[in-house]
Amino acid sequence: MGLRDADGGYGAGDGEADLSQKESPDMAWYRCVIEGENFPGSLIQSGGLVGFFATRFVEASSSEAAERCALDELRLDPAFALGDQPRPKNARVYFTDVIEVDGPTTPNAGATWFLMDSQDEQDADQ
């Protein structure tokens, strides 16, 4: 579990999950609890910076691979699409929990959003 930048902290082709192996017997389900900070408020039609909490269930060969798969899920989710906006350089994603589970218990969609307070915004600008 760790801190990733908004691009996931991985270079192109570096450690990407092989989703074609999803049916492999050595794969397990993981619940990934994710927190994001310093994303543009326009994602939720708000000004300033926002953060979010999201849960994604992924099938992967390890907890590290699960993190990569969960980041891919977020990138594909239209709720996180920035369109033509530049990605904020201080946007961060934290994995607060990655736990092996029996299977998904909720859909992989959406997030709970919150407004970053003014101190968080000041810290993000530095």
Q: Where are the domains of the chain?
A: 3-8+28-125
Query: What is the pLDDT confidence band of residue 61, given thresholds at 50, 70 and 90?
Result: very high
Q: pLDDT band at 40, cuts 50/70/90?
A: very high
Instruction: Give the other-Cβ count within 10 Å of 70's Cβ.
Output: 28
Task: Find residue 62's DSSP bridge partners.
Answer: none
Give me the sheet containing 92-101, strands edge to edge: 3-5, 92-101, 28-40, 49-60, 112-115
Record the pTM. 0.72
What pLDDT, in 10s, does the model give residues 10-23? 333 333 444 444 45
Residue 115 structure tokens: 């407004």
> Dihedral angle at the C-alpha atoms of 78, 107, 23, 18, nearest 10 degrees?
30
Reply yes or no on whether the pLDDT at 2 is more than 90.
no
Give the pLDDT mean for 96-124: 83
Mean pLDDT, the chain, whole residue set: 80
